[in-house]
């Protein structure tokens, strides 16, 4: 038999006067084998919508990311030199715990951050991989805010207890260079699904093709983390910090880093932001998100723009900007690196159909 169903994906269009857009799910059962695919139908007027990255919506692992627009929700829309974030402001933040075991003692430390992108995956930096850190990552903590309390409460509002989940697998970029920090991006698959609540939620991913072409220079973006918050007191912050950073000119940033001792080359897949003395992402912020809210429905949604990669040796103590891996350039890589398990996606999809744009509708062509 053949089964058709539709899902309204109009929320994927950033414009308020967007046309209706639907995803058609096609399932065909033949000889006890179930095939499934998804194609997008929309009228020609949908050119006013932002285009999707090629292959994202039709990719078999799209369903693992798509929660019908239920991502990037923050309870409040409004690091070094940062200020305290509000409880529930960044519910996608994750802390990565490592274990150093020497002859004298076992040392457990949170050395990196990450970002929830769905119920089983955390997005972080490749330099946060256990092999690079030379220490096993033993746990991923979700729903953290104030390090000394569990649960966290502000006034009469309390978040649920934190969730500590063991990592199951690392999927770091195969072309990551530990000297240049090129392709500094990694996926962590968790051993158990995340239990979402108001204080633990995924961020939205930059699936729009237009994200790859945005000139962020001069724009204000946000970072968050528990890294050093005062350059004169090199201790981590006990409360989640947030900081607004301005994206710097790419060429100027590249020239700055060419003049430092290790002569790093900044590529088009990296962003530079910060460069104000006393304000920078640092240490425990590594692997965390560079993000921004985008308004396209009744309320803004946060999208991840970059992953905290590297900066100067003494972060926050120079005019050198921090460097971030730009996530939009890695969307296809992210989807390909998903490991599709039966309990994640029962219908492992193959490309039965390829959507192509005609003058009136997207048409279906058999492969």
* Res 67: pLDDT: 52
| Extended beta strands in 42-151, E state | 83-84, 93-101, 106-116, 121-124, 137-142
* Res 302: pLDDT: 92
Note the pLDDT tens digit of each residue in 48-61.
344 555 556 666 66
Phi then psi for residue 255, to 5 deg, are -70, -35
* Res 191: pLDDT: 96
Fold of 83-336: Thrombin, subunit H (2.40.10)
* Res 55: pLDDT: 54
Low-confidence ranges of the chain (pLDDT < 50): 1-2, 7-8, 10-50, 77-82, 228-235, 280, 283-284, 313-314, 316-317, 339-367
- Cross-strand bridge partners of residue 59: none
- Cross-strand bridge partners of residue 270: 325
* Res 306: pLDDT: 96
* Domain spans in the chain, listed from the N-terminal domain onward: 2-60+345-366, 83-336
Residues annotated as catalytic are 127, 184, 286
Q: Identify whether the C-beta of residue 346 lies closer than 8 Å to the C-beta of residue 196.
A: no
The DSSP line for 208-272 is BGGGGG---TT-EEEEEESSEEETTEEEE-SB-EEEEEEBPPHHHHHHHHHSSTT-PPP-TTEEE
* Res 131: pLDDT: 78
Q: Identify whether the C-beta of residue 247 lies closer than 8 Å to the C-beta of residue 273.
A: yes
């Amino acid at each position: 038999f053949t089964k058709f169903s539709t899902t309204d994906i109009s929320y994927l269009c950033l414009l308020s006067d967007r046309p209706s857009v639907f995803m058609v799910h096609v399932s065909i059962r033949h000889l006890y084998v179930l095939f499934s695919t998804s194609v997008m139908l929309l009228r020609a007027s949908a050119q006013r919508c932002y285009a999707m990255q090629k292959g994202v919506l039709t990719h078999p692992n799209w369903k693992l990311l798509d929660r019908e627009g239920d991502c990037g929700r923050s309870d409040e829309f409004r690091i070094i030199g940062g200020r305290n974030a509000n409880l529930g402001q960044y519910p996608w933040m994750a802390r990565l715990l490592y274990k150093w075991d020497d002859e004298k003692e076992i040392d457990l430390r949170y050395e990196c951050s990450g970002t929830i992108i769905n119920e089983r995956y955390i997005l972080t930096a490749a330099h946060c991989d256990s092999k690079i850190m030379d220490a096993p990552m033993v746990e991923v903590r979700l729903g953290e805010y104030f390090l000394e309390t569990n649960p966290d409460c502000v006034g009469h509002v309390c978040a649920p207890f934190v969730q500590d989940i063991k990592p199951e697998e690392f999927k770091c970029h195969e072309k990551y260079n530990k000297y240049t920090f090129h392709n500094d991006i990694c996926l962590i698959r968790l051993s158990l699904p995340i239990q979402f609540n108001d204080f633990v939620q995924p961020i939205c991913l930059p699936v729009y093709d237009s994200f790859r072409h945005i000139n962020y220079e001069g724009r204000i973006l946000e970072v968050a983390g528990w890294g050093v918050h005062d350059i004169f007191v090199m201790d981590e912050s006990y409360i989640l910090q947030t900081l607004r950073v301005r994206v710097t000119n790419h060429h100027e940033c590249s020239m700055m880093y060419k003049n430092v001792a290790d002569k790093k080359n900044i590529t088009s897949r990296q962003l530079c932001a910060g460069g104000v003395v006393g304000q920078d992402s640092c240490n425990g912020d590594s692997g965390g998100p560079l993000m921004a809210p985008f308004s396209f429905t009744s309320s803004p949604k946060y999208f991840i723009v970059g992953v905290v990669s590297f900066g100067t040796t003494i972060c926050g103590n120079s005019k050198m900007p921090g460097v971030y891996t730009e996530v939009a350039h890695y969307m296809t890589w992210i989807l390909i690196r998903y490991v599709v398990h039966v309990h994640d996606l029962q219908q492992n999809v193959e490309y039965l159909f390829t959507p192509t744009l005609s003058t009136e509708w997207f048409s279906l062509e058999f492969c």
